[in-house]
Structure 1
Amino acid sequence: MNSVKAFAPATVANVACGFDIFGFAIEEPGDVVELSRRDEPGIVITSIIGDEGRLPRNAEKNAVTVVMLHLLKHLRIKDLGCEVILHKNMPLGSGMGSSAASAVAGVVAMNELLGNPLTREELLPFAMEGERIASGSAHADNVGPSLLGGFVVIRSYTPLDIFTIPVPEDLYCTLVHPDIEINTKDARFILRNEVSLKNTIAQMGNVAGLVAGLMKADYDLIGRSMVDVIIEPVRSILIPEFKEVKQAAISNGALGCSISGAGPSMFALSRGIDNARKAGEAMQKRFAEAGIEAGLHVSAINKNGAMVLAE
């Protein structure tokens, strides 16, 4: 195989109460990576489309290629030459798993080019290295669902223990991205290092409730459990109109609403696509009333994750 093209979808991480342990994929948007062999050894980024020139072109500093370098080192391949084209189809610093989508698309494309020596699960640690270079933390709650699809739970990071759980067929995500940017490193920096016992107990109850609600298709339980008493109160101050937008979603049929990843995107979960669209339009309208343009995506949970595209 001389060339390959791969797609990796956007994701919602944390999912309210599950900081760094919950994430799910949506259908679109997502990043696309084109990979072609070249005669000279080494990985070269020839083009990045859609980043307005902001991302590094150095292969050792970009999430899309760092994962490839780690994979090649693991497989002890030293003489491979590749040209990389990255199509950035989501904004940077959006809270939609932008860097994760690049990393996942990159590692899936390279694995395919090499004849798929590793399984999807085996590719996960390499994809996490893309997150490390982008945000300083090798968390898996974006790369996991982008790579594997579905609703992902990270039970442990040391050792890495990750699995997917079933979700109701009629569960839809509304993702609204206001036209502002929050740096993931900054959003992690403001978090507290210590949490009260009271809040820990409340958060554990919500985590258990959300997992049970998803697996039992209990929509009321899903809604009651989408409460974050630890991260959201701190990070929400970075998002203008957060409380008003959240209330708009819930008042218009959403089960619950919170911050997507590090923000500023906000997501809601709803029963049925009509409720999801209604909630999204209300969220968009509330941002607009504050003078903030916001993009809107409505999607079922993407159960497939990254995919290789036909040339």
Structure 2
Amino acid sequence: MIKIYSPASIGNLNVGFDVLGTALAPINGKLLGDCITIQSNQIFKLIIKGNFSFQLPKKIEQNIVWKCWHYFCKIIKKKILVLIILEKNMPIGSGLGSSACSIVSTLVAINKFCNKPLNQNKLIHLMGKIEGEISGEPHYDNVAPCYYGGLQLIIQENNLISQSIPFFKHWLWIIAWPGIKIPTSEARLILPNEYSKHTCIKHSRLLAGFIHALYTNQDHLALKLMKDIIAEPYRIKLIPKFIT
């Protein structure tokens, strides 16, 4: 029997839309994320439990864990007969990487159960592909930090999906879930297809400056540069009573 835990994450880390994401670890040492347990079985079977299991689709083929199992079997060209138990501890559409939690923990567990036929690179590409089916297009700002940990800069060059970058260890993230559900696909569709030259230049300045501040340990500068001008102005309308 194998049990894998995957942490919650913050994608689109403020100024880093689609290119920065960080894994989360509560300061009290508790787990914040999903768990997958896998063991041999005579047939494929999926059991779902946890505080937010009621939010998941009733049809097994619509469950993201089933999709992970299905694609993994296609890749290795073998049907794996296993019992998978999903502990769904993350709310759906919460902005905390709920789908990434399930995807990462499931694929890591299955890969380990099968003696790791997929290397890290193939595994992370498959994670992005399945995440993309939910959001509308592959993106890695949740699955990469969920899989690798820490703060990840999405590269997608030289056969690399992401690389770890330094962060301020004394910073604490305060996260809040207002109890509403905002699907990633809906949050992406609301964004404009084109941005003005002024917006692109300003965003480049903010993002480049923020990463520079991380590498030069200038936390006050980093704070001043944390301004999301790409997504937040358009997504505000999705959150009732949001106050800027």
Query: Normalising by structure 2, what TM-score?
Result: 0.89
Q: Percent identity?
A: 33
Question: What residue in structure 1 maps to residue 24 of structure 2?
Answer: 26
Is contact 1:153–1:165 with CA below 8 Å preserved after alignment? yes
Matched, 1:242 2:242: yes
Question: What residue in structure 1 maps to residue 77 of structure 2?
Answer: 76
Question: What residue in structure 1 maps to residue 143 of structure 2?
Answer: 143
Alignment-mate amino acid for residue 173 of structure 1? W
Displacement of 1:65: 2.8
Q: Spell out, residue by residue over 1:214-235, the C-alpha distance to the aligned partner (whole angstroms, 9 max, x if none).
A: 2222101211221111211101
- Any stretches of 5+ residues in structure 1 without a counterpart? 245-311
Distance 2:13 2:117 in 1: 32
- Any stretches of 5+ residues in structure 2 without a counterpart? 26-30
Is contact 2:103–2:130 with CA below 8 Å preserved after alignment? yes
Distance 1:143 1:170 in 2: 24
Distance 1:113 1:58 in 2: 25
Alignment-mate amino acid for residue 39 of structure 1? Q
Matched, 1:229 2:209: no
1:7-156 map, 5 Å:
7-27=5-25, 28-40=31-43, 43-56=44-57, 58-78=59-79, 80-156=80-156
Distance 2:175 2:157 in 1: 27
Is contact 1:44–1:59 with CA below 8 Å preserved after alignment? no
Alignment-mate amino acid for residue 17 of structure 1? V
Distance 2:107 2:161 in 1: 20
Alignment-mate amino acid for residue 32 of structure 2? P
Distance 2:64 2:46 in 1: 11
Displacement of 1:109: 0.7
Displacement of 1:59: 4.7
Displacement of 1:188: 1.2
Displacement of 1:57: 5.0
> Where is the strand percentage greater, Structure 1 or Structure 2?
1
Root mean square deviation, CA, Å: 2.0
Distance 1:174 1:93, change over 3 A: same
Displacement of 1:97: 0.4
Matched, 1:203 2:206: no
Residues paired across the two proteins, number: 239
Distance 1:211 1:35, change over 3 A: same
Displacement of 1:157: 7.5
Distance 2:47 2:184 in 1: 26
Distance 1:232 1:157 in 2: 27
Distance 1:39 1:144 in 2: 33
Q: Is the partner of 2:21 in helix, strand or coil?
A: strand
Is contact 2:10–2:97 with CA below 8 Å preserved after alignment? yes
Q: Is the partner of 1:83 in helix, strand or coil?
A: strand
Distance 2:157 2:15 in 1: 18
Distance 1:231 1:159, change over 3 A: farther
Distance 1:215 1:64, change over 3 A: farther
Is contact 1:48–1:88 with CA below 8 Å preserved after alignment? yes
Distance 2:121 2:229 in 1: 31
Is contact 1:152–1:165 with CA below 8 Å preserved after alignment? yes
Q: Is the partner of 1:53 in helix, strand or coil?
A: helix
